[in-house]
Amino acid sequence: MKIYQNSSEPIYKQIASQLRDEILAGKLKGGDALPSIRGLAQDLKISVITTMKAYEELASEGLVTSAQGKGYFVNAQDTRLLAEQHMRRVEENLSEAIRSAKIAGMSIDELRETLDALWALDAG
């Protein structure tokens, strides 16, 4: 896990985002334990409170559950719900890309060409 101290994104959001990506990609599966709060805080040299905040965010999204005295565990993911979550993230990212493209003065055709080029690069 990589944390960027100079990022505008809060550290707890960086942690939550990376764990969310691993869960949604199926790298962390239902029943898998997340690293202990204290252990992750030590590894990343951050506050236990920051790590707790990240885990609580994932719990509020229904991705993980806290087991008293045992830690946090990944919830089993419904494949339809998982697909819906991926679609929502795609829509959010594309909306942001459209806003940036408009600010940059790009046409819809230029944006499509860029998307096609990026898609081709990631085809492997």
Distance between CA 65 and CA 58 in Å, rounded? Answer: 8
pLDDT tens-place string over residues 43-74? 999 999 999 999 999 999 889 999 998 999 99
CA distances from 98 to 17, 58, 101, 111 (A): 22, 28, 5, 8
Q: Do residues 55 and 16 share a domain?
A: yes
* pLDDT tens by residue, 17-32: 999 989 888 899 999 9
Distance CA 71, CA 36 (A): 6
Q: What does the mean pLDDT of the chain come to?
A: 90
Q: What is the pLDDT of residue 19?
A: 95
Q: In this model, does residue 42 exceed pLDDT 90? A: yes
Quick check: is 1 in a domain?
no
Radius of gyration from C-alpha coordinates of the chain: 18
Query: What is the pLDDT at residue 122?
Result: 78
How far apart CA 98 and CA 79 sit, in angstroms, is: 28
Task: Tell me, yes or no, whether 48 lies in a domain.
Answer: yes
Please state the length of the chain. 124
Please tell me the predicted confidence (pLDDT) of residue 124: 54
- Does residue 39 belong to any structural domain of this protein? yes
d(CA 92, CA 52): 26
CA distance 84 to 61: 13
Q: Are 59 and 98 in contact (CB under 8 A)?
A: no
Tell me the C-alpha distance between 77 and 83, whole Å. Answer: 10
Residue ranges making up the domain that contains 31: 11-74
Q: How many domains does the chain have?
A: 2
pLDDT at 83: 76
pLDDT at 117 over 70: yes
- What would the pLDDT profile of 75-95 be if each residue is shown by its tens digit? 987 777 777 877 888 999 999
Evaluate whether residue 4 is within a structural domain.
no
